[in-house]
A and B are shown apart, each in its own frame.
Chain A
Amino acid sequence: MGSFQGLREFVRNLPKGKALITFIATFIVVCTISILCYRLTLEVIDAGQWVGHTHRVLSEIHESISAVREMEGAQRGYIITGVDEFAHSYELAKEKVRMHIRNLKSSVMDVTVKEQQLPELERLIEARIDRAQEVLETRKDDGFSAAEKQIAQNIGARMTNEIKSTLDRMEDHETELLAARYEKLTQSTEVTISALAILGALATTLLCLSFYSTNLYIMERRRSEEETSRYAAELAISKARLDAILASMGDGLYQIDIQGRIVFINPACEAITGYSQSELLGRNLRDLIADRRQEETGSHSVIIDPNPSRGLFSVIENGGTFESIDQNFIGKDGRLVPVHYVSSPLERDGVVVGAVVTFRDVTMRKEAEKRVAEFYSTVSHELRSPLTSIRGALGLMEGGRAGEMPARAMRLVGIAKEECDRLIRLINDILDIRKIEVGKLSLFLKKEKLDEIIAATVDGIKPMAAEARVKFKLNYVDPELSVFCDRDRIIQVLNNLIGNAVKFSSEDQIVTLSASEVQREVEGEKRTFARVEVKDCGPGIAEDERDKLFNLFQQVDSSDSRPKGGTGLGLAISKALVEQHNGRIGFDSIVGEGGGSTFWFELEVYELKKDLKEKVAKLAARFTEELPERIEYLLDCLKNYETSCEESREKNLDGVGELAASKLAEARTVAHKLSGSAGSYGLAEVGNIMLSIEKKLEALMEAFDPRVVSELKRDLEQLVLVGKKGF
């Protein structure tokens, strides 16, 4: 294992890039040179061996010729002298000749010599030996003369000549071979020397290159190491800075992995939650988010959310960020910490690996908000109560319930009553502005006929107009013209506009009301709006007043308008209300007597376009499919709630009551979802029923009331009926 590690380390540290290429090229060239040198040397050795071999063959041929001569000399000596010593020498020479012929046979490689000349030579030699033997036998047996006669025949001499000429031919042949082999040896040697010189030069060049590249590589590596250590130092500084920021930031921070397990926290997180780092790491954040939260409206009712962590975790799947201002984290010992948190996905190489949740303990802010809400609620109540009494007392005095009063006193009572009414309007307006400013003004949107809204407003404002002796002219309004709006709020807007028109009109002047359809392009799409206009014949609005007309506490020419009873908030509220309806509000004005102003607002017309109709039909069909299942679910929740409530009552069990509350909260979530989707599908009837169910569920959460339960069941039955009608 260790050597494997070492090898991996070695491979990892090998030079890279050009240096590696040069090294490999040098290695290949050196290997090639070595192989070539080896092969060339082999060729030279081979050629040398062949030369040596030819020399040996030539030597054998010479030896053979000498041996034949020696044999002839010994034979001649014996024939002349008859001394046995010559006979013995002859025998020795004969064997020598045979030995050389055998040597030749074994050493000669040439095919022609081996297959033709050598057998011939052997035959000639044997024939010559036989003849010599024959002459020697004759000398021995019949004496010198007889032998001389045989010699005189010259047979032996001819044979010897043939042998010699054969050996000469062989010698010539071998000499030719020797010359050829010498030439080959010379060539091989020259090639080898040339190749060695060239390859040596090449190898030297490559070695130089390799040295250069390696040197470059080492320098580069040193530089890179220096850079790496510089980066490491910078990284360490950056990490230290980041650690310091994380340690000193006031907001808590959780880093979670994709499953929700906590992998990092900062000291603020420990301080806020009360947990230590070791207690938190590895725990799932889902377990640390409370399912109870305060209702957004600032009331004290508590909502039980069956899945409180879904928003926080949604960023892991869907990206984006998620922010919550009304949830509680669970601190140590089960303490609930109200937090404002932002959850963002944590990405590494483009892949989401978890999320980062930064949060702030908003206990103080919540308390402050609660105090402000309570303050407004108290102010509203505390101001209204005495006003109710004052208004009531003045009303009773004016109505004569306090007895007969002089005319002057009656006039004063009238003024007091009027101012009292103005104060009430001001309080209402201030509360509206407060709601608008904190974004808690909810609209209850329904399909409303515009002519009915206008008629209702005019009815309400007629006494005021009569008092000011201003006349109304109501232009024809198409009874089919409908808008999707909060009736009360649009009446409030109209009241403000008509009220202003009346206030700025002189006696017997006419305020004209009209409503019509207008087309306008919004985001490249042509849309139809209902435009409501309130036209007066007043003095008009001066140029320099126009910009601030819709600002808070703004009144045109206050010296003139204050006696008319304005609060200075009406137009600001109207603008906010119309804009909350996604509408527009504005005015056109001509300055000068009788010029007049036209205040208008536009709301999108409630109409179903053809494609929209199809879309709604499709969605309604889906809704119809979902509805029975949802109703069943709601009924089920209700049944569980009833049972749990009964049990908790009988046994006085708190836990059961909580179970009931959680069931109800689930039901409320479903109802809320349904009413929302019904609203967006334009299924007003279903939406309304669902809204009523929601409200009843809310009432049930506050106090168990069997009557509400039975009403809820009636609602659900109604829903079934609506569902059967197919909307």
Chain B
Amino acid sequence: MSLSRILLVDDDDNIRTIAELSLEDDFQVDIASSGQEAIDIAMVRPPDLILLDVMMPGLDGKATFGKFKEIPSLAAIPVVFMTAKVLTHEIDFYLELGAAGVISKPFDPMTLAEEVQTIWAHSRV
């Protein structure tokens, strides 16, 4: 099984567009602008991986992550957090929480797809 469908969750339109542009050559990308929308989309079309922004109004990244883990059909999907906080102990915190990986913002759009692919491969091991 290869990584083909990614659900991208970010409240910022422009970031969503940049990330989508970065990823669309390699994957099918679904877009959600909030945690709740992400859950709704994932219920209909379960992705192979979720790229989840941490700071969002309403359901933030951590809460959305919690919700995903509570839904049995979605609990196994690897989640990659995207955060501006890049200190090791903060990354460790998300990893310990059960995230598959953490991508720091601002990300390099030219290597994002590669980075996501690597994380996904690691999460399969």
Q: Do A and B bind each other?
A: yes
**B residues near A699, Cβ cutoff 8 Å:** 62, 97
**B residues near A385, Cβ cutoff 8 Å:** 12, 14-15
Could you tell me the dominant secondary structure of chain A's interface residues?
A: helix
Please judge, given known A-B contacts A399-B109, A424-B106, A705-B66, whether A392 and B15 are in contact too, CB under 8 Å.
yes
Q: Total interface residues on B, using CB and 8 Å? A: 28
Interface residues as binary, A377-400 with B (CB distance below 8 Å gives 1, 0 otherwise): 000110011111101110110110
Interface size class of chain A, counting residues whose CB lies under 8 Å from the partner chain = 20 to 34
Alpha-carbon separation in the docked complex, A325 to B108 (Å): 42
Pick the residue among B12, B18, B105, B106 that contacts A396 (CB under 8 A): B18
Contact B107 A392 (CB under 8 A): yes
Considering the complex, give the chain A residue whose CB is closest to the CB of B98: A707
A117 within 8 A of B: no
Contact B106 A392 (CB under 8 A): yes
Best-buried of B97, B109, B110 by chain A (most CB within 10 Å):
B109
Alpha-carbon separation in the docked complex, A702 to B63 (Å): 9
**A residues near B21, Cβ cutoff 8 Å:** 392, 396, 401
B106 CB to closest chain A CB (Å) equals 4
Considering the complex, give the chain B residue whose CB is closest to the CB of A492: B87
**A residues near B2, Cβ cutoff 8 Å:** none
Contact A395 B88 (CB under 8 A): no
Contact A444 B89 (CB under 8 A): yes
A488 within 8 A of B: yes
Query: Which A residues from 677 to 727 make CB contacts under 8 A with B?
Result: 692, 695-696, 699, 702-703, 705, 707-708, 711
A663 within 8 A of B: no
B95 CB to closest chain A CB (Å) equals 10
Contact B108 A395 (CB under 8 A): yes
Interface residues as binary, A462-505 with B (CB distance below 8 Å gives 1, 0 otherwise): 00000000000000000000000001100000000000000000
Alpha-carbon separation in the docked complex, A556 to B12 (Å): 38
**B residues near A399, Cβ cutoff 8 Å:** 109-110
Alpha-carbon separation in the docked complex, A297 to B22 (Å): 35
Please judge, given known A-B contacts A401-B109, A488-B88, whether A389 and B66 are in contact too, CB under 8 Å.
no
B69 within 8 A of A: yes
Contact A388 B107 (CB under 8 A): yes
Pick the residue among B22, B69, B89, B106 that contacts A707 (CB under 8 A): B69
Considering the complex, give the chain A residue whose CB is closest to the CB of B13: A389
Contact A711 B96 (CB under 8 A): yes
Please judge, given known A-B contacts A395-B109, A488-B88, whether A389 and B15 are in contact too, CB under 8 Å.
yes
**B residues near A695, Cβ cutoff 8 Å:** 93, 96
Contact A381 B55 (CB under 8 A): yes
Alpha-carbon separation in the docked complex, A396 to B18 (Å): 8
Query: Which B residues from 65 to 91 make CB contacts under 8 A with A?
Result: 66, 69, 84, 87-89
B19 within 8 A of A: yes
**A residues near B66, Cβ cutoff 8 Å:** 703, 705
**B residues near A381, Cβ cutoff 8 Å:** 55, 84
Please judge, given known A-B contacts A444-B88, A488-B88, whether A392 and B109 are in contact too, CB under 8 Å.
yes
Alpha-carbon separation in the docked complex, A389 to B53 (Å): 14
Contact B22 A396 (CB under 8 A): yes
Contact B96 A696 (CB under 8 A): yes
B58 CB to closest chain A CB (Å) equals 15
A21 CB to closest chain B CB (Å) equals 82
Considering the complex, give the chain A residue whose CB is closest to the CB of B25: A401
A515 CB to closest chain B CB (Å) equals 21
B30 CB to closest chain A CB (Å) equals 19
**A residues near B15, Cβ cutoff 8 Å:** 385, 388-389, 392
Alpha-carbon separation in the docked complex, A223 to B66 (Å): 84
Contact B88 A391 (CB under 8 A): no
Considering the complex, give the chain B residue whose CB is closest to the CB of A487: B88
**A residues near B22, Cβ cutoff 8 Å:** 392, 396, 401
A12 CB to closest chain B CB (Å) equals 74
A192 CB to closest chain B CB (Å) equals 111
Q: 13 A-B Cβ contacts within 8 A? A: A381-B55, A392-B14, A392-B18, A393-B14, A395-B110, A398-B110, A401-B25, A444-B89, A487-B88, A695-B96, A699-B97, A703-B63, A705-B66
> Which residues of B are at the interface with A, using a C-beta cutoff of 8 A?
12, 14-15, 17-19, 21-22, 25, 55, 62-63, 66, 69, 84, 87-89, 93, 96-98, 105-110
Q: Which 8 A-B pairs have the closest CB atoms?
A: A392-B18, A389-B14, A388-B106, A399-B110, A395-B109, A391-B106, A392-B109, A444-B89
